[in-house]
Structure 1
């Protein structure tokens, strides 16, 4: 494991959480309100909070925490609605007074080794700065559509949508956690992150005052089919007006729907509040049902950005956890600077949707870095497209396409929960 000279890796105990949060505020540029402290404690997986503290006074004050990270123990949906054990990396930051000393690398190696020891085959994260994580083997595993949807946007009718009912309530962990968790567990889109275990599970319900920017507290929209929940969304609104024209906004954060009708009923509600002119969302898959149901898709002003970043920690375990959609037999020469056990040539023998992954001395059909394999893991990007970009090398003609067809997902991946 890579170490930073003059620093020591530690688990951050609960009595030092204020030091942990101080580093986060410096790293992410912000001043937190004292009244919001409990919200941040509730959102942090305390038992997996880690840090680097100074052990050499030439580096700073002895014992001070200079960098932090934490991770959620969870599962992620992969193609065919299967699950893979996942470490959701979050809260990662270095105090600006300690930069350029190898602390980020030391923390990433700490995260990798501890995650692998727990049997977590994949690491996933949201990137504040994407370029940072590529060098540690993360690839952009999913993309998301950010959209601004005008009030009352017309939709193509979906059978059964009008028969569904909607409840609107203030989001509350005790009242709604199990309902949201149960719905989340029934979603099948690759990239879906299931509720974590341990502390930090209520992260989606935390609502610091400093983050609201004049908006109300989180609300929850629940769509029901004869009393059974079939969709949900976290949202909040802010009223605004100028010269008598109401142009308030609604922000939609996390949402999920089990059926096309539930999706339409949910968005009909979220885009038709009084005093609200525009509904904003950042968590639409590139093939989300809403984008097909809108009669004027262009009217929902949108742009595509990165969503979830993926890093394979245990290559054979990760590849064998998902389903494939084409039989093939391909050898891949893999490089991995940070997890050497992944490096080498692997044979992927795919038969009937199942993969057998073994080491081999045979010549490689393809060669790539682990970040490229991580990019294609959820099926949202094809191996052939990376080959066409010059990032994956094809040594045997046609093998990039063979593996691309096998690994592509019928639906676009997306993580709907921002952890």
Structure 2
């Protein structure tokens, strides 16, 4: 039987959400608490919940949902502080009884088609398993630093940090959504995913008991400059001690700061709680201000892992939705087996920061690459020349890899600080 045959794509209605979540639990290996159900419903963009339903008895019980996915309708910040219409893909799950039947490929095809119909030029996701998504054209668009910061870590002084005040409150959607989303919208780092529209908007505030692992509910640190919010962070703590030594932990999830002083004041607070010995975070950009403000950067034990995976779905729209930092005139040849409209030759002419991108089929290309490599360099965190040196991008005209690399590289490293 042909792969994915015997299944049909459906939109998952509200009355079938429990079936949706059952597939997710099977795929991600876990048993959710009944009391946490509403948190998961609140975190799901229900109007964009999709599934594959069994329609052939040879594939299983007819009517059973075998695979699911959903996506957030949003925008993502691109180099230069511009934005591109983006689909934040999430909840992607295949029931283990239905694996190896092409269901993942079928869902990706469904996702890509619907994104393009909505005018979303880019799809972005966090990868539970990094090796899966490159075959669908995703590239590692951003990296993140995971760090363990000791209590009271010394920092080089930043002017104005001591003049800022901090409020600490329990995170609450009704009380804090506008504050957080307002600050988020003012962040200019490439890869920043803006608060989504529609259902699932309060995903960052959901707090399932089963995920806390003995920690308190999410708290919110709000840094203010004369009453005006200039920084925020979601955090939670767990006190612990052994033989009279307090070695509790603080976990920092999403955070953002508008100024160097706000960043320092925020981290001074997050790394100096009573009964807490170590503060953990997974959302530091590779050039985050904290990494330079710490006197002993090595003392913050860290490692770099992948952050956001990006997939260009509309070459022209995506490339014209960002700023460039060097004039160039380069023709690239793209292969894309999942979105044929992207395949072929494209001419990129950059003048004064803006790109004009036109289809140039039949032209002799300066560079050749797969769509996953264009997706990798899209946010400016990876150089086209680096991929050329790795043998992943082919250079046909000497020097053109560097020309495009200099044009596309971002002055600051990309990062998505909101884990959707």
- TM-score norm. by structure 2 comes to 0.99
> Partner of 2:59: helix, strand, or coil?
coil
Distance 1:306 1:241 in 2: 33
Q: CA deviation at 1:4?
A: 1.6
- Alpha-carbon distance, 1:359 to partner: 1.2
Aligned equivalents of 1:122, 1:178: Cα separation in 2: 25
Matches within 5 A, 1:270-285: 270-285=270-285
Q: In 2, Cα distance between the equivalents of 1:33 and 1:255?
A: 28
Cα deviation 1:270-289 (Å, max 9, x = unaligned): 00000000000000000000
Structure 2 Cα separation of the partners of residues 313 and 358 of structure 1: 15
Q: Distance in 2 between matches of 1:397 and 1:412?
A: 27
In structure 2, the residue matched to 1:191 is 191
SS in 1 for 2:57: coil
The corresponding residue for 1:410 is: 411
Give the match for residue 78 of structure 1.
78
Q: How far 1:362 sits from its partner (Å)?
A: 1.7
Q: Number of paired residues?
A: 418
Q: Secondary structure at 2:166's aligned position in 1? A: strand
1:381 corresponds in structure 2 to 382
CA contact (8 A) 2:193 2:416 kept: yes
Determine the C-alpha separation between the residues in 2 that align with 1:77 and 1:356.
19
Alignment of structure 1 residues 295-374 onto 2, 5 Å: 295-360=295-360, 361-374=362-375
CA distance in 2, matches of 1:240, 1:132: 38
Matched, 1:237 2:242: no
Structure 1 equivalent of residue 252 of structure 2: 252
1:113 aligns to 2:92 (yes or no): no
SS of equivalent residue, structure 2 residue 180: helix
Runs of 4+ in 1 over 4 A off after TM superposition: none
Gaps of 5+ in 2: none
When normalised by structure 1's length, the TM-score is 0.99
In 2, Cα distance between the equivalents of 1:48 and 1:298? 44
Q: Deviations over 1:147-177 (max 9, x none)?
A: 0000000000000000000000000000000
Distance 1:145 1:68 in 2: 30
Separation in structure 1 between the aligned mates of residue 237 and residue 52 of structure 2, nearest angstrom? 39
Deviation at 1:3, TM superposition (A): 7.6
Partner SS for 1:154: coil
Q: Which runs of 5+ in 1 are unaligned?
A: none
